[in-house]
Amino acid sequence: MTQTPIRLTVNGRVHEITAARDTPLLYVLRNDLALNGPKYGCGLGECGTCTVLIDGAAARSCVIPIDGCAGRDIVTLEGLGTRDKPEEAMRYLRIPADDQDSIAGWVRLREALFDSAMREEAATRYVALATPADKPQMAQQLQVTAVRALALFAGAEAVRGQTKSPGGLQAISDFIESSVPQADRARISEVLLRILNGSLFELLNTTRERAGLSALKPDEKTQAFMTLSVLSLSDSFFYPAPVLLELTDFKQVQQSVFQVARAPGKVLVYIGAVLLIVGVFAMLYIRERRLWVWIAPSQREGATTPGGTKISLAMSTTRRTMDADAEFEQLKRSILEGDTP
């Protein structure tokens, strides 16, 4: 096969590949472009581990030659992030798993964040826990700050000069920059983030209670989950995915060579395969012999009357053994002399 360069557009980048035009796309992705998202499984287009998107449609890259991919838009697992321009690096949204190993906790928290009544309730819970017993007068101001921090983080409140809030930590930062003198920013920012984190924790526990789950204890594990959740909630404002799909279950299908036949006539194929196997063993253990007899009219030299017959004999066998010659002699005698072998 000729090896002329071929241009492939993979994950938004154009690559010049020198390979035989019938090379499967999977080999080029993994070996030439070091994209290991698509995996080699069955190599028959059956299992789907090598799936990529070609012009937006799922395709099995192990059975697609690169020849048919020139000028088409190929996307692998590595290209499923987002970016605004092809030259930018991909951005990904990382969602932490909760104590049930599910993203449901994060999803519930995000939904509650956009509900003003839930934000108010979480702020009240936070204030009840955070107000010093000897300074009850702080409660009211703390409540206002907690509600505001949650509203800013939820993108529900824009700061001065903005028509739309960016939401997330960016909104908190914009608020501090627009409302707090430079000298106080570090201190206020620390206080505001502490209030925000505490309120979000109460918001999380409110959603858990409504979902029939026990409230989380503020231990190290919960702390780690909350840190990742806050970062990922903040990032979610900049991640333009309109839907979130979660794989909850899957069925692994093992392939074997017999499963290649999935057509309606597969039973016939199976029977044929069994007969083929029997035939192969029969060839090994059954010695086949063939005797060739050629009978032709002939006249003996010097004879005056016609009516003679000439007989030619030959024998073939699949395996040459010591007995073959003796057998042939015996058969020859039987035919020529009328002996019973």
Nearer to ligand FES, 41 or 96 (CB): 41
Give the bridge partners for 51, in sequence order.
60
Pair of tokens at residue 245: 């799909």
Rounded least distance, CB 51 to ligand FES, Å: 7
Q: What φ, ψ does residue 16 adopt, rounded to 5°?
A: -100, 115
- Judge whether 258 and 135 are in contact, CB under 8 Å: no
CB atoms within 10 A of CB 268: 11
Nearer to ligand FES, 48 or 155 (CB): 48
Rounded least distance, CB 19 to ligand FES, Å: 18
Q: Which residues contact 199 (CB under 8 A, 6 or more apart)?
A: 119, 122, 123, 126, 146, 149, 150
Nearer to ligand FES, 62 or 149 (CB): 62
Rounded least distance, CB 24 to ligand FES, Å: 8
Q: Which residues in this chain contact ligand FES in the complex, by CB under 6 A? A: 40-43, 45-50, 60, 62
Nearer to ligand FES, 48 or 65 (CB): 48
Rounded least distance, CB 278 to ligand FES, Å: 31
Pair of tokens at residue 236: 């979610």
Nearer to ligand FES, 257 or 322 (CB): 257
How many residues in total does the chain contain? 341
Residue number, nearest CB to ligand FES: 62
- Judge whether 98 and 87 are in contact, CB under 8 Å: no
Helices (H), the chain: 25-27, 104-113, 116-130, 138-153, 168-179, 185-210, 220-236, 266-285, 323-337
Nearer to ligand FES, 49 or 124 (CB): 49
Output the DSSP codes for 81-145.
SB-SSTTSPPB-------TTSSSHHHHHHHHHHT-HHHHHHHHHHHHHHHS-TT-TTHHHHHHHH
CB atoms within 10 A of CB 132: 10
Axis crossing angle, helix 116-130 with helix 185-210, rounded to the nearest 10: 110
Nearer to ligand FES, 63 or 159 (CB): 63
Rounded least distance, CB 26 to ligand FES, Å: 6
Amino acid at 170: Q
Nearer to ligand FES, 48 or 81 (CB): 48
First-to-last alpha carbon distance for the chain, in angstroms, is 59
